[in-house]
Amino acid sequence: MARMIVVDRDGKEHEIEAKTGLKIMEILRELDYGVAAICGGLCSCATCHVYVDPQWAARLPKKQGDEQELLTELADYREATSRLSCQVEFTEALAGIRLTIAPDT
């Protein structure tokens, strides 16, 4: 377990303890204020979109082609630190990460 800070769509900050080894999406979809994750992690829906706090963004694994492509299609909502949370594993190294749930598209 490790700590994660999640900012919901109302701007409210939640500090949670989450299991490491899961995709971040798997953690966020269990929260009332989390993500829909409609495709279940197949990198085809973008409903798991989050903004990663800039100080953490560089510590995440690089985006692969599918994630990059899908984020490109979100032009209106995409930011420099946008990630699809189904493509990022929550590891001990990410303990304390701060994420903001992106708006519904």
- Least Å distance, CB 78 to ligand FES, is 14
- Least Å distance, CB 101 to ligand FES, is 13
| CB nearer ligand FES, residue 45 or residue 97 | 45
Of all residues in this chain, which one has the CB nearest to ligand FES in the complex?
86
Sites of contact with ligand FES (CB under 6 A): 25, 37-39, 41, 43-48, 84, 86
- For residue 31, what are the contacts with CB-CB under 8 A and spacing of at least 6? 6, 14, 16
Residue among 45, 43, 47, 77 nearest 63 (CA): 43
Using an 8 Å Cβ cutoff, are 72 and 79 in contact? no
